[in-house]
Chains A and B, each alone.
Chain A
């Protein structure tokens, strides 16, 4: 049931049209940040207002929505955003990646491969990949125009000189279709390979910074690197202690104050699905399918 006091998906139609036009231009120029007149939303800037506006502009009543934060469906902000759309758009919701037609995410790409027709909406805090090298928007805009990306390579190379390796572990910059350098939002670099050639449409919304950008399906996305220091996606060298997965991104959980810790999948839907299928990690307990 949607709340009749609000327009479908909260935003007024004129605002949606403005956002929709920005999304279409973003799709037409993959990786380019389209300015849009972001509105004040009933949740704070920095808490997903960009993603929420993009989701609101894309939703239809037929959609099945999944919202994750840190890969999990049950983190408080994911719960809050999901509830917002249940209330204002009356859409069906799910925790199953495969069942969702639209997924709003903060900081992760789901482990399960996405499919054609799905839309992944990222919440983006700082859309400008060059911002921490050059704080001025007027300057970074010029750098994108002229494809002057030397500065970001210098930064990555300084890492190598100091640490022997590239010391950027999340929000790792990428180049889209050989043209625009893009910030993939603060996903761990483990997720970067999933950006490229995905069958799903990926949309990025930065509310406070008033930018929308996009990766159409099957867009070529390359993580920046050097011949002698190739890009390496990385994760904790462990298996999930609940489901035993060896290739999923892990959260570290501190279990006592004696140095005890365990590692569990950050993607809660992926982990639960595996547990229900009978996979068992070192500290897991067998789960009855369909059980609580």
Chain B
């Protein structure tokens, strides 16, 4: 006797309870605190903030804990929370030239005002598992030096002064916001940058890598990569001036790319730009390559059909919350559509067999 499947609600409740138990794991092991995640898994926290489009390290750490370390799930939690927040206003553009840098490198000049600051990087670590960390993670105190008071001007500003790089004039346009308006293509550069900075790190990385290997090649030099804290200011209409409302950590990457020039313009370098929440330099570099690649039309370059040149392809597929939702939705029941296909294929097969029999 067949009884229709029932009990969806109880199954869901039980699944949630089991999930909570699995999240906690072995009760004999101390529970992970949000503060520990924030302090010791800070690069994961940064990624969740960047792709979640919300600068809040404590909430990002909480999301990582709740998501059992699944960063896309954590990003999703942050995004869903973010949409419920009231919009109180917009900050002024941050001034990255006044960043308090903890890391600043240029691949284009050996030395420059502000100097090369290696900072806390994996770059020259030998990737050897450090078994000491398995025992205890206490690190020796790093050497310190007094903070340099010297300004750290942008490398691009120095190139700009000589007219060696395309000018990027200041604008007063209010940039589009894809979280508040439906995306309309072709989009402005500001819209593209927003989509890329909150796009999936893996996707943006692969897009950037593909341009390096020759799919829409635009050879990029890292003119400058800087990481550090910048002040966030907001205009208060009642006061008539901007006040500092906080500080955020950012990674900014500006690339210098080749450009042949034209009849009207002398040869000049062109720019790619990346700006991402937190210490997230892989993403920022990748972003600047993809940005530059998407600018082919504006710079009069050829469209070679490369994926990273295709604005619609990049922008419509960069968001991992959208992508994972649609990908995973195929787990949901599709009995009805499958049944309609099943019937169709049965009917087509029956017709084929009938024709064959008739022919014999």
List residues of chain A with CB under 8 Å of any chain B CB: 12, 15, 35-42, 44-47, 49, 69-72, 74-80, 83, 106-108, 125, 136-138, 163-165, 167, 169-171, 186-190, 208, 210, 234-236, 241-242, 249-253, 255, 262, 264, 266, 268, 283, 285
Contacts and interface: CB of A to CB of B under 8 A. Distances in A.
Contact of A108 (B180, B336, B347): B336
A187 B336 contact: yes
A137 B328 CA distance: 23
B4 A268 contact: yes
11 contacts: A39-B83, A40-B80, A44-B321, A44-B324, A46-B332, A76-B8, A125-B326, A137-B316, A190-B340, A208-B325, A283-B2
Given A170-B341, A208-B325, A251-B339, A40 B8 contact: no
A249 B342 CA distance: 13
Contacts of B145: none
Nearest to B333: A70
Contacts of A75: 8, 333
A136 B339 contact: no
A251 B340 contact: no
A265 B39 CA distance: 55
B318 to A, nearest CB: 13
Contacts of A252: 335, 339, 342
B2 A170 contact: no
Contact of A107 (B184, B337, B348): B337
A76 B11 contact: yes
Interface of B: 1-2, 4-9, 11-12, 76, 79-80, 82-84, 86, 179-186, 312, 316, 321-322, 324-329, 332-337, 339-344, 347-348, 351
Nearest to A44: B325
B321 A40 contact: yes
A45 B2 contact: no
A167 B336 contact: no
B325 A188 contact: no
Contact of A41 (B9, B80, B181, B316): B80
Given A49-B325, A208-B325, A210-B182, 7 more contacts: A12-B84, A35-B182, A45-B325, A46-B327, A72-B4, A74-B9, A125-B329
Contacts of B8: 74-76, 78-79
B4 A188 contact: no
Nearest to B178: A37
A40 B2 contact: no
B324 to A, nearest CB: 7
A76 B186 contact: no
A41 B82 CA distance: 10
Given A170-B337, A283-B2, A47 B325 contact: yes
B123 to A, nearest CB: 35
B339 A74 contact: no
Given A37-B182, A108-B336, A45 B322 contact: yes
B216 to A, nearest CB: 17
A118 B23 CA distance: 43
A249 B336 contact: yes
Given A79-B9, A125-B326, A44 B343 contact: no
Contacts of B2: 241-242, 253, 255, 262, 264, 283
Given A40-B321, A70-B333, A167-B348, A188 B9 contact: no
Contacts of B86: 12
Contacts of B316: 137
Given A40-B80, A77-B332, A188 B312 contact: no
